[in-house]
Amino acid sequence: MEKHERDNQTSPTEFLLLGMGDMPTLQIPLFLLLLIIYLVTVVGNNLIVVLVVLEQHLHTPMYTFLGTLSSLETWYSSTTLPRLLASFLTGDRAISVYGYGCMAQFYFFSSFVATECYLLGAMSYDWYLAICQPLLYVRRMTWKVCLQLVAASWLVGVFVSATVTAFLSQINFCGPKTIDHFFCDFTPLLELSCSDTSVVTPVSFIVCFLSIIFPFLSTLVSYVCIVATILRIPSSVSRKKAFSTCSSHLIVVTIFYVTLFIVYLLPTTAPLRQLNKVFSFFYTVLTPLVNPLIYSLRNREVREALRKVLKKAMASTQGARCMFHLQECIICSFGLCK
C-alpha cells in the first residue's frame, strides 16, 4: 500500500519527447522538411479521396478501399507530425501523460496502425478475387461486402487500441520523464513503468498478433495465391500486365510491413535505439507520403481521373473569367465604365 502511494506521488504528469535528438542547428531545416512532407501527404491523400468521390468510374470496391486508405493515411500522419512540428518551432517537447497528451496520441496512432493492417488485408483479398477468381468477383465483392470489410477494419482497429490503452493507462510511471522517441509508442512507455507489467505484456502480445500478425498472414496468403495464378498464365504479356496491375498495392504492403516488423522486432538496446527511430520515421511519416505517389503514378485510371478533374477546374476558371469580362462589357455599354 505504501509503495502504491509512493508511486502515485512520484508518477509524472508529463513526459519529455526527445524527438530527433538535440540538434539546434538543424531545427529550422528539419521543421521545413517535415512541414513540406506533411503538406504533400495531406494534399496528396485528400486528392485521391476527392477523385474517388467525384469520378463515377472510380466508384468500385477497389477504389473505395483506396479512398479509405488515403483518408486513413491523413489521420495517421496527423497524430505525430503536427506535435513534432510544434516542438521544432517552439522548442517545447513536453507532452502531458493523460488527457489530450501521450495516452491520446498512443490510442489514435495504434488504432490507425491496426486499421491499416486490416484494410491492407481487405485490399489484398479484393486483388485475390479479381485475379484468381475473376468470374466470381462481381458476385463475391459486392458493395455490401466492401463496406463491411471497411467498417470491420475500423472497428477492429479502435477495439484493439482501446484495449491496450486501457491496460497501459493503469500502470504507474516513474524514473526519468524522458521518452527517447518522437511520439508516444508502446515500448518507450513500457520502459518508464514502475508497476507490474505481467498483465500488460501478454495482453499486448495477443492484441499485436490479432492486429498485425493475423492480417499480415492473410495478406501473405492472398499474394501467394495471386503470384501462383499469375505464373500459370501462358502469355508473357498477360503475366506482365497482371503483375503491373497489383504491383502498386504490393509495394505499399511491402514498405509498410517491412518497416513495421523491423521497429517492433528489433531488440530495444541502446545502440539500436536510433535505428529504431529511423525505421519508425519511415512507416509513420514516409509511408503516408509515398502511398498517393505510388498509386497515382502507377495507376492509369487515377491519372485519367486527375486529368479530368484538372480540366474541369480549368474550364470552370476560364468560364468565370469569361463571365467577368461579359459583365464588364455590359457595364461599359451603359456608359458606367470609368
pLDDT digits (tens, 9 = 90+) for 104-153: 889 999 999 999 999 999 999 999 998 888 888 989 999 999 999 999 99
The pLDDT value recorded for residue 65 is 92
Report the C-alpha gap between 252 and 245 in whole angstroms: 13
Give the mean pLDDT of 284-291. 85
The torsion angle over the Cα atoms of residues 179, 80, 167 and 14, rounded to 10 degrees, is: 50
The pLDDT value recorded for residue 99 is 65
Answer whether residue 314 is part of any domain. Answer: no
With beta carbons less than 8 A apart as the criterion, state whether 7 and 195 touch.
Answer: yes
Q: Considering only 4-8, 196-200, 318-322, which range has the smallest mean pLDDT?
A: 4-8
The pLDDT value recorded for residue 126 is 92
**How far from 67 is each of 149, 304, 309, CA to CA, in Å?**
14, 16, 16
The pLDDT value recorded for residue 42 is 92
State the CATH number of the domain containing residue 233: 1.20.1070.10
Q: Considering only 7-16, 66-75, 256-265, which range has the smallest mean pLDDT?
A: 7-16
Q: Domain range holding 209?
A: 2-298
Answer whether residue 335 is part of any domain. Answer: no
The pLDDT value recorded for residue 3 is 42
The pLDDT value recorded for residue 148 is 95
Q: Which of 4-13, 24-33, 290-299 has the highest mean pLDDT?
A: 24-33
The pLDDT value recorded for residue 336 is 42
Binned at pLDDT 50, 70 and 90, residue 253 comes out as confident
Report the C-alpha gap between 189 and 173 in whole angstroms: 8
Report the C-alpha gap between 73 and 79 in whole angstroms: 10
Name residue, grid cell 510491413: 257
Answer whether residue 272 is part of any domain. Answer: yes
DSSP-derived 3-state class of residue 286 = helix
Answer whether residue 27 is part of any domain. Answer: yes
Answer whether residue 324 is part of any domain. Answer: no
Answer whether residue 86 is part of any domain. Answer: yes
When comparing pLDDT for 277 and 48, which is higher? 48
pLDDT over 90 (residue 221): yes
Q: What percent of the chain has pLDDT over 70?
A: 83
pLDDT digit string, tens, across residues 80-102: 888 888 888 887 888 887 766 88
What total of structural domains would you count in the chain? 1
The pLDDT value recorded for residue 8 is 44
Answer whether residue 131 is part of any domain. Answer: yes
Answer whether residue 311 is part of any domain. Answer: no
